[in-house]
Amino acid sequence: PHLRTFGDDFQTCKVEGAWPLIHNRYLSVQVTNTPVVPGSLATAPSKLTIIFKNFQECVDQKMYHAETDELPSAFADGSKNGGERHGANALRVVEQVPGQHVVIQARYIGTTVVVRQVGRYLTFAVRMPEEVVNSVEEGDDQDLYLCLHGCPANQRIHFRDFRARAAEAQGPGRGRSGAGAHGFTYQSARAKCKERLPVEDLYFQSCVFDLLSSGDINFTMAAYYAFEDVKMLHSNSKMYHLFEKDAFKSRAAPRDG
Amino acid sequence: CKILRCNSEFWASTSSSGQEEEFCTALRAYNGCVRRTARTCRGDLAYHSAQHGIEDLMSQHNCSKEGPTSPPRARTPPPPLPPPLQPDTQERSDGPEACHYERSPPRGAAQPNYTHCGFFGD
């Protein structure tokens, strides 16, 4: 899947199986990624568990759990708010489109979570104050939380390498159409993604990547909605679009020399 | 670190009341206020003193940690349960100030910095 971290790093990762996205004093988010095509490295989110922890006089602990084809409009206990406490309405699940789009408002921590199902897979987005992001439990090693530190280096896939391979596969003598195993050529994938994502930023690049690696046209919409969520949740409009040079400047540069 | 503000709010709320129940309520509110300053007050002597002081006072007055914590200067009864959630009900009361991050007293007027994380695609 593609990850945009709290630090605006944009990465594409393998991360098959269950991985933590966020973990702090107030909430934990865990995602499970499953292979999109059997035998392929490509995985996509199929389960998501969010635990909002018990907080003062505001909310009881609540769990939200979504899976492919099951995007509930309530917490796991059937409730839609934070329980019976005085400030329970500071936590609410709001269904936007049944089975497709849910927003969870956690006002007591200034946090908004957006969960969608696009095609067969889930998308996750969150807006959270820095103070909450950094409210780490004492003694808790934060290395593996993807939203905070990104994917481990050995789990990352680099667009540049992927693009080079895609271009090579479509070179002279590689077949009449140059189409990949899933029916999209590099050019046809670009054309498809351009329909929804006119700016050739990393959302566009991720869309091309997904079409080439999976052949599933729904991923065009996943990238489109991920960008829509950025526009809704990100506090700096100048940072909506990310381009390759921005995305890799902070972490990849030292490692790549 | 705004621990002194928590202290003064607590003492203001308890100075006119002699009832044990109200004292416990104020103490719990004080505890909440102190906890919200934890990040910025780490290492501050007044903060750590307040933490220990609250524990002692809770024990002395037999206060439970769970229970009402109405803000000292605005003790309003709990709002009635809302109607079923709808996207257009955003302005309904969210309960105590502590339950609305942007209105929480220790942060004053300063706007918090927000960050974003997204996870999607294959």
- pLDDT exceeds cutoff 90 at A79: yes
Distance between CA atoms of residues B39 and B4, nearest Å: 15
Quickly list H helices, A88-217: 130-133, 146-149, 159-169, 186-196, 202-214
Q: Which residues 6+ apart lie within 8 Å of B26 measured at CB?
A: B10, B13, B14, B17, B72
Q: Tokens 């903060």 appear where?
A: B47
Of A6, A36, A110, the CB nearest to B122: A36
For residues A10 and A64, the answer to whether their CB atoms sit within 8 Å is no
Provide the percentage of residues in chain A whose pLDDT is more than 90.
Answer: 75
Is B108 at the interface with chain A, CB within 8 A?
no
* B6 pLDDT more than 50: yes
pLDDT score of B53: 82
Average pLDDT for B30-53: 77
Min distance B118 CA to chain A CA atoms (Å): 4
d(CA A2, CA A45): 10
B116 contacts on A by Cβ (under 8 Å): 4, 6, 8, 125-128, 230, 233-235
**Structure confidence at residue A229 (pLDDT):** 98
Mutate to test the interface with A, among B99, B100, B103, B104 (most CBs of A within 10 A): B99
ipTM for the predicted complex comes to 0.90
Q: What pLDDT, in 10s, does the model give residues A11-52?
A: 999 999 999 999 999 999 999 999 988 777 789 999 999 999
pLDDT at A252: 39
Ramachandran angles phi, psi of B86, nearest 5°: -135, 155
Residue among A90, A91, A37, A44 nearest A68 (CA): A44
> What's chain A's average pLDDT?
88
Average pLDDT, chain B: 70
Comparing C-alpha atoms, which of A188, A197, A208 is closest to residue A230? A197
Whether the Cβ atoms of residue A240 and residue A234 lie closer than 8 Å to each other: yes
Residues B111 and B63: their CA atoms lie apart, in Å, by 34
pLDDT band at A170 (very low <50, low <70, confident <90, very high): low
**Shortest distance, CA B104 to any CA of chain A (angstroms):** 9
Chains A–B, number of C-beta pairs less than 8 Å apart: 183
DSSP string for A33-74: EEESSTT-S-EEEEEEEEEE--BTTTB--EEEEEETTB--SS
Q: Which residue in this structure is represented by tokens 């942060």? A: B107
Segment B20-49 mean pLDDT = 77
The predicted model gives A104-129 an average pLDDT of 97
Q: Could you tell me the pLDDT band of residue B18, with boundaries at 50, 70 and 90?
A: low
Decide: A21 and A164 in contact? Cβ < 8 Å: no
